[in-house]
Every structure is written in C-alpha cells, then in structure tokens.
Amino acid sequence: MNQQDKQPESGGFAPVGTWVLLCVVALALAAGWLFLYFGVFLPRGTIQ
C-alpha cells in the first residue's frame, strides 16, 4: 500500500536530523569495529 508512496509520513515531517545522526553513529561503529578487528585483534596472532 505504501511502497509507491514517497511522501513522508506524519503530515510532511521527515526525520532528517535523526537520519544524519544515526548515519554518523553507523560510520563510527563501523570504523571502531574495523579498527579493533584488523588493527588490534588480528595483529595479536592467528587463532583457530
């Protein structure tokens, strides 16, 4: 019913601030994890 509907919900309100904030958070999470995984964990030695 709403897949074609590109209008924002809630009478014209689009949560742009939330979107930007959470995209920044997502980038920070990705950067932090990649740093820990490839920069701290793997250099400590192989494991299996």
Total residues contacting other proteins by CB under 8 A comes to: 38
Cα–Cα distance measured from residue 48 to residue 42, given in angstroms and rounded to the nearest whole number: 12
| 12 touches other proteins by CB under 8 A | no
Structure tokens belonging to residue 34: 């990649």
Measured at the CA of 40, the angle between CA 38 and CA 43, to 5 degrees, comes to: 75
Q: How far is the CB of 12 from other proteins (least distance, A)?
A: 11
**CB 28 to other proteins: min, Å:** 8
**Residues of this chain that bind other proteins (CB under 8 A):** 1-3, 6, 8-11, 13-23, 25-26, 29-30, 32-34, 36-38, 40-48
